[in-house]
Structure 1
């Protein structure tokens, strides 16, 4: 698996026939100039995907930074809007009309013309509201506001409920917290069996386990940093990790994971670290 397969330029195929980059920059809890700089550094380093959300209140900054990069001197290879993958998410599951208005506002805020991937940020709100909001995503796809629809923090029961409703468009992605200390095996297996790509947010466990003896020893073995090891683990499982950083050096390092391969025995050792560590919120079991 080593080599260019997991370079920043590599992509993963989605169930709708489209594709997206294998590594995205996360911009959770960033704002203002910090967001603009992080996105610029990521694009300059070779990232081609940025993960935002309405709840992050930085769609405008992300979009502005993307546009500045595309029109600036750093864009040495002539990249265009369609070469940069932009994700956002619906803040609240309310009703169809509110969701449609909210999607339009996100498109306007970003200034990018359309959103590549738009997710229901959580299953909160109950079945009826979730299904209404998913219908809003379907119609936004039909209207060209969104390219691909997906979900986030959905547990198995939420995904089954959505699929049982026989939607016109199936979710292509489920974004959920996944890392060696929270492997979410039931959710990731369900997704894999149904062609739903798992996006792994907090793939570094928010740095809470960087000093774990197994992580430290394996990072030393492969001559990489703990963060690079955890991102590589995510990629080798077929996930799409969303490492977040506002440090230029760390952003660059987090994308440099194509020069080594974790062997099977070491992948198993990392899988065995699961302790259901939740680093932020955990809506997967809500009603």
Structure 2
């Protein structure tokens, strides 16, 4: 499985004596793609099965029936592990607690009127049940998820910290191995970092021009050893897809434009969510990233130039 720092383009994260679970050995770093399961509906189990068969080893979902079918993700993971193709600890599974603002109030894993901590407990319990290792109705003590993200900050920072602290105290490190957060701004992330005992291991944000590609937030993540995951990477970036570094890499390495974009985004220390529904694209994307890695190692000077040009575009500078 390729690492996010595939091409040796980045400095190592700074050490921090105040960190807890966010360490240099953060397992979320050891992947090129995370398979995204949003909006897969009744096809979720089939598509996750195909993604695992193609070689994906990391899966993203959420306890949010409005957009995800978490129970079908769990079904596919159990089936894949049960087939003997791998063990559970060889698959990275991350899910989310979604606050009421992101839920369909008629179909959610908790009662909207319950206190926040009761909501979290019900949501996480449902996730652990969905990722149980056996098909019977019980949730074994060994059931766990590798990372649980807050799907977004809650209504206030005080509520966000309340939710985080409840997760820290009640689920880590056995039922939930790491904590993360999605859809967060840099000021909120800094405060969460400063006021939490267990530091965020993962940030998952939309990567696009409207947020200036999270340049400053990603720098903070890099310094703290937080893994930055991008979503909407292809569809949200038509300008980047048409950029000269992407076209040049595609030609030089003999890969598709989308794969070239993925490779250059990964050079920025980003783990990419990939939600393709095509088995052919699953294989092409995985093999393509490996092809970029091999090409970069054999063409170090050209790779350095392309990644520098791409970084300048992302940072809003003009490539000469």
TM range (shorter): 0.7 to 0.9
Between 95-104 and 125-134, the greater mean CA deviation after superposition? 95-104
Find the partner of 1:195 among 225, 244, 250.
225
Query: In 2, Cα distance between the equivalents of 1:211 and 1:150?
Result: 28
Query: Superposed, which structure 2 residues align to 1:170-181 within 5 Å?
Result: 170-178=199-207
Name the residue aligned to 1:29.
Answer: 39
RMSD over aligned CA atoms reads 2.9
Name the residue aligned to 1:255.
Answer: 286
Matched, 1:47 2:68: no
| Preserved contact between residue 53 and residue 88 of structure 1 (Cα < 8 Å) | yes
Query: Computing the radius of gyration over CA atoms, which structure comes out larger, 1 or 2?
Result: 2
Q: From the superposition, tell whether residues 84 and 173 of structure 1 become closer, same or farther in structure 2 (CA, over 3 Å).
A: same
- Unaligned runs of 5+ residues in structure 2 are 7-11, 14-20, 101-114, 134-142, 297-301
Name the residue aligned to 2:119.
Answer: 98
| Preserved contact between residue 87 and residue 115 of structure 1 (Cα < 8 Å) | yes
Query: In 2, Cα distance between the equivalents of 1:188 and 1:205?
Result: 20
| Preserved contact between residue 100 and residue 140 of structure 1 (Cα < 8 Å) | no
Name the residue aligned to 2:138.
Answer: none
Query: In 1, Cα distance between the equivalents of 2:237 and 2:193?
Result: 35
Instruction: List per-residue Cα deviations over 1:133-183 (Å, max 9, x = no partner).
Output: 111221343372211111112111111221232x22111111112268952
Query: In 1, Cα distance between the equivalents of 2:226 and 2:266?
Result: 15
Query: In 2, Cα distance between the equivalents of 1:218 and 1:116?
Result: 34
Matched, 1:69 2:98: no
SS of aligned partner of 1:87: strand
Deviation at 1:187, TM superposition (A): 0.6
Query: In 1, Cα distance between the equivalents of 2:204 and 2:165?
Result: 19
Name the residue aligned to 1:284.
Answer: none
Instruction: List per-residue Cα deviations over 1:106-158 (Å, max 9, x = no partner).
Output: 21133352111100111241111101111122134337221111111211111
| Preserved contact between residue 180 and residue 271 of structure 1 (Cα < 8 Å) | no
Query: Superposed, which structure 2 residues align to 1:124-163 within 5 Å?
Result: 124-142=154-172, 144-163=174-193
Query: In 2, Cα distance between the equivalents of 1:208 and 1:95?
Result: 39
Name the residue aligned to 1:281.
Answer: none
Matched, 1:218 2:229: no
Matched, 1:123 2:153: yes
Query: In 2, Cα distance between the equivalents of 1:103 and 1:136?
Result: 11
Query: In 1, Cα distance between the equivalents of 2:124 and 2:186?
Result: 25
TM (norm. structure 1) is: 0.81
Instruction: List per-residue Cα deviations over 1:33-85 (Å, max 9, x = no partner).
Output: x2112211111111111011123331111110111112227x2xxx1111111
- Give the count of matched residue pairs: 265
TM (norm. structure 2) is: 0.74
Deviation at 1:18, TM superposition (A): 4.5
SS of aligned partner of 2:277: coil
SS of aligned partner of 1:183: helix
Query: In 2, Cα distance between the equivalents of 1:275 and 1:190?
Result: 15
